[in-house]
Amino acid sequence: MTASELREKIKALAKQVYTQATPVDVDSPGEIDLDIAETFPILGRFPDLKKVIVDLFTKQYELFIQDIEWVAPRPTTFRILLANGESFLMHYTPRSWVATIEGKKYYLANLGEEEQAVQTIARVLSYGQKDEATTPVEGGEETTTSTTSSSSSSSAGTEEAPAEEAPEETPAPEEEA
């Protein structure tokens, strides 16, 4: 069997497998990427967004992104929902993409700002899951706290412990001299 015969046999097998399982045109010269189209269909419509996401997250971005929402048509804006429940915005401008993360804008055409955006995304991902945790307190009461990025960063050090009730004070009797 020659190399060309082997190549033809592989092509025939690939056509059989792909036509049975997926609606992909095997004869097209483009790259076949099935998982991306199913996971994030918006990336099929906006290939430039995919390039930017790969720059920010690496090729394994699916592990860190839960969903991508198209928020506004002009300027083209996307909300990137991270796996931990946090999100940030991506805006398309004629010059470049702009990432708005935790209220700060990063112009991704500038390499320094792109690196800062990557570091900020890493920090946001390190916040952990966005959920409510119940912690027991003395006296059998339970308090519910929410672990979000805004509450943990803005109120750090400003929370006070609840004051304990002190017994009622009575004035000491005055002595006569």
Cα–Cα distances in angstroms (integers) from residue 131 to residues 31, 84, 123, 128, in the given order: 39, 9, 17, 9
Give pLDDT, residue 157: 47
The domain ranges of the chain are: 7-32, 40-125
Contact (CB, 8 A) for 44 and 36: yes
Long-range contacts of 78-87 (CB under 8 A, 24+ apart): 78/42, 78/46, 78/49, 80/53, 82/121, 82/124, 82/125, 83/125, 84/124, 84/125, 84/127, 84/128, 84/129, 84/130, 85/129, 85/130, 85/131, 86/124, 86/125, 86/127, 86/130, 86/149
**pLDDT one digit per residue (tens) for the chain, 177 residues:** 788 888 888 888 777 766 554 444 545 555 545 444 567 888 888 888 999 999 999 888 888 899 999 999 888 999 999 989 899 999 999 888 999 999 999 999 999 999 999 999 999 988 877 665 544 555 555 555 544 444 444 444 445 555 556 566 666 777 665
Residue found under tokens 């570091």: 119
Task: Specify the pLDDT at position 29.
Answer: 53
pTM: 0.53
Nearest to 89 by CA among 130, 52, 51: 52
pLDDT of residue 1: 78
